[in-house]
Chain A
């Protein structure tokens, strides 16, 4: 809802993503803040921001599959892993630069997603959610059992820093700008997708797939497309992750990670791209705080032992997921929208 006094007289302005001058100003300020961030924050915080960018791309993809198209995906980390390994293979085996490797990683992951999307055409609800877990097991099995000269097996894979002409992305600050640009492109793309014909088909299938089918939507194709898109995002995120860590192994992409991604999406709000971003930033920030405060707490109270960090991370994640589903299943974005509407309507209730 727009504030009162704002009228659009042309279709283009009405359908634009950024619609008012105030929104343009806010976006420009936000962009400027993001550009300045690595010069103001400590190197550790820049690394954290990079991790947030990678995760944000993956969670936005999950938002498309699960939040918009309603297909529960418990294997997002596996798709991310496919992208990471894809980028490594392109770089190490074929010697191609990162700007080929990253999209190619996305395409590999999208192919894997397509395979699971096809099963979604027949399998529904509970059964589908549970079969996506199979992606996780198959991914680990395939990587570990292919000849180790192909994918590195248990030893994992290391790769060189990304290069673009004379620029080498080997510092966190350089990577920050690369990741920022990638996130901007991917998020802009996601906004486009969910506003398009396909995005509206996703929402229709999520709300009721029988009804959507009767309206003439190709339900099976839409579900497959949702998986392909979500997996593509995960693959791109995974490929960027590979260039950040420069080492890839299967234990970086566990079922546990997939569940973290879902938790981020729930906290931010299902069915909202901005929600996915907010959830990612918030949960990652809290994760980092627990990880960095953990050793101090252990030092203060040695009786707790060093396992407390991992244990309390689990308790925290469990409480976040159950708490949000019980108390605010629509996520923080929904709260924010309620607040915004109330603020704009004040002093009237409706």
Chain B
């Protein structure tokens, strides 16, 4: 009994760290550009299709293929900045959110046009043999994902809070006009954000999809990871790890113990309910910036 509980909690926690890695796509772009990117799931699918195309379809060496996928993904990110967000500097919250939703649908349509709706076996970039510790069985991609999430979070946390460039980007996230007035290039910051988002989406797609099948619907993990980003607060990268762990463990235990009772899929809504409760108490998440509003 006890060992099962620990097993569910551990797997939930690792899944939560995967969510944190996906949610990093939201936070990194927000933290450097004040754009909330709803299209994270679609970027992940695009990254995944690029990896699939390079490694499985074109039979490149995995290292070369991944490098190619990363390069193309960064270029796509830069193109998105050039075509859409450069024109939106200083625009309203509504425009920003809606443009990324438009982008989400556009990317879904383009992925469907280019690759079609068929299922594709994603290459096992990370070996699938599970890690066995005593009685516990841990899937290797999830374990690797957890490690990558922690490393990425630490690196990005240092970058945005300690380095000079990162702090300049934080100013952009606070206010475009003030950042411009301080001599910070908002354009370059947004371009960097989207390039970084492209890199993260390729990395996340490999962790998430290794050995699974890939379709355009894989993007739904973007909405599954949304509560993690909101729970942490949109500005906090290190907070994502804690939020991811909480959401993952709650979800894992719900799936294991509550779902059989009600015969339904409570695990998919529990993160949202949890997020709603936390947001009503703390409207900017656990670690988000509290903005003081003036008239």
Give me the interface of A with B, judged by CB distance under 8 Å.
66, 70, 72, 74, 119, 122-127, 129-131, 133-134, 137-138, 141, 144-145, 208, 210-211, 214, 255-256, 259, 262-263, 266, 270, 305, 307-308, 310-322, 325-326, 329
A322 touches B106 (CB 8 A): yes
Give me the interface of B with A, judged by CB distance under 8 Å.
36, 84, 87-88, 91, 93-95, 97-99, 101-110, 112-113, 116-117, 223, 226, 230, 234, 262-266, 268-269, 272-273, 275-276, 279-280, 283-285, 293-295
CB neighbours (8 Å) of A210 from chain B are 293-295
CB neighbours (8 Å) of A263 from chain B are 102
Residue from the list A138, A141, A211, A262 in contact with B101, Cβ < 8 A? A262
Question: In the complex, how many angstroms separate the beta carbon of B1 from the nearest chain A beta carbon?
Answer: 27
- Which single residue of chain B is at the shortest CB-CB distance from A121? B280
B266 touches A318 (CB 8 A): no
How many angstroms between the C-alpha atoms of A217 and B106 in the bound complex?
40
Whether A134 contacts B275 in the complex (CB less than 8 A), given A311-B109, A312-B109, comes out as: yes
B101 touches A321 (CB 8 A): yes
- Which single residue of chain A is at the shortest CB-CB distance from B38? A130
Question: In the complex, how many angstroms separate the beta carbon of B26 from the nearest chain A beta carbon?
Answer: 9
Question: In the complex, how many angstroms separate the beta carbon of B34 from the nearest chain A beta carbon?
Answer: 9
- Which single residue of chain B is at the shortest CB-CB distance from A258? B101
Total residue contacts A-B, CB cutoff 8 A: 135
- Which single residue of chain A is at the shortest CB-CB distance from B111? A311
Question: In the complex, how many angstroms separate the beta carbon of A113 from the nearest chain B beta carbon?
Answer: 15
Task: Determine the main DSSP class of B at the interface with A.
Answer: helix
A141 touches B113 (CB 8 A): no
Question: In the complex, how many angstroms separate the beta carbon of A256 from the nearest chain B beta carbon?
Answer: 8
How many angstroms between the C-alpha atoms of A12 and B94 in the bound complex?
37
CB neighbours (8 Å) of A122 from chain B are 279-280, 283
- Which single residue of chain A is at the shortest CB-CB distance from B36? A126
How many angstroms between the C-alpha atoms of A308 and B285 in the bound complex?
41
- Which single residue of chain A is at the shortest CB-CB distance from B269? A141
CB neighbours (8 Å) of B265 from chain A are 141, 144-145
Question: In the complex, how many angstroms separate the beta carbon of B25 from the nearest chain A beta carbon?
Answer: 14
CB neighbours (8 Å) of A131 from chain B are 230, 275-276, 279
CB neighbours (8 Å) of A74 from chain B are 101
B272 touches A137 (CB 8 A): yes
A326 touches B98 (CB 8 A): no
B112 touches A307 (CB 8 A): yes
Whether A314 contacts B108 in the complex (CB less than 8 A), given A141-B269, A145-B262, A210-B294, comes out as: yes
Residue from the list B103, B109, B294 in contact with A313, Cβ < 8 A? B109
- Which single residue of chain B is at the shortest CB-CB distance from A308? B113
Whether A314 contacts B105 in the complex (CB less than 8 A), given A126-B234, A131-B276, comes out as: yes
A123 touches B279 (CB 8 A): yes
A133 touches B223 (CB 8 A): yes
B106 touches A134 (CB 8 A): no
A314 touches B109 (CB 8 A): yes
CB neighbours (8 Å) of B276 from chain A are 119, 131, 134
Whether A317 contacts B272 in the complex (CB less than 8 A), given A122-B283, A141-B265, comes out as: no
Residue from the list A119, A129, A318 in contact with B109, Cβ < 8 A? A318
How many angstroms between the C-alpha atoms of A270 and B91 in the bound complex?
15
How many angstroms between the C-alpha atoms of A314 and B93 in the bound complex?
23
Question: Which of B87, B102, B117 gathers the greatest number of chain A CB atoms within 10 Å?
Answer: B102
Question: In the complex, how many angstroms separate the beta carbon of B215 from the nearest chain A beta carbon?
Answer: 12
CB neighbours (8 Å) of A255 from chain B are 223
Sorted nearest first, the 8 A-B pairs with minimum C-beta distance are: A318-B106, A314-B109, A321-B102, A315-B109, A311-B112, A145-B264, A322-B102, A318-B105
B230 touches A318 (CB 8 A): no
CB neighbours (8 Å) of A123 from chain B are 279-280, 283
CB neighbours (8 Å) of B262 from chain A are 145
CB neighbours (8 Å) of B284 from chain A are 127
A322 touches B84 (CB 8 A): yes
Residue from the list B84, B283, B295 in contact with A214, Cβ < 8 A? B295
CB neighbours (8 Å) of B94 from chain A are 66, 70, 72, 270
- Which single residue of chain B is at the shortest CB-CB distance from A323? B102
A141 touches B266 (CB 8 A): yes
Residue from the list A127, A141, A329 in contact with B279, Cβ < 8 A? A127
Whether A321 contacts B105 in the complex (CB less than 8 A), given A138-B272, A145-B264, A208-B295, comes out as: yes
B93 touches A125 (CB 8 A): yes
How many angstroms between the C-alpha atoms of A312 and B112 in the bound complex?
9
Question: In the complex, how many angstroms separate the beta carbon of B2 from the nearest chain A beta carbon?
Answer: 29
B230 touches A130 (CB 8 A): yes
CB neighbours (8 Å) of A259 from chain B are 101, 105
User: Can you list 26 pairs linking A and B with CB atoms under 8 Å apart?
Assistant: A122-B279, A125-B93, A126-B36, A127-B279, A130-B230, A131-B279, A134-B276, A137-B223, A138-B272, A141-B264, A144-B265, A145-B263, A208-B295, A259-B105, A262-B101, A305-B116, A307-B116, A310-B117, A312-B109, A314-B106, A314-B112, A321-B98, A321-B101, A321-B102, A326-B84, A326-B88
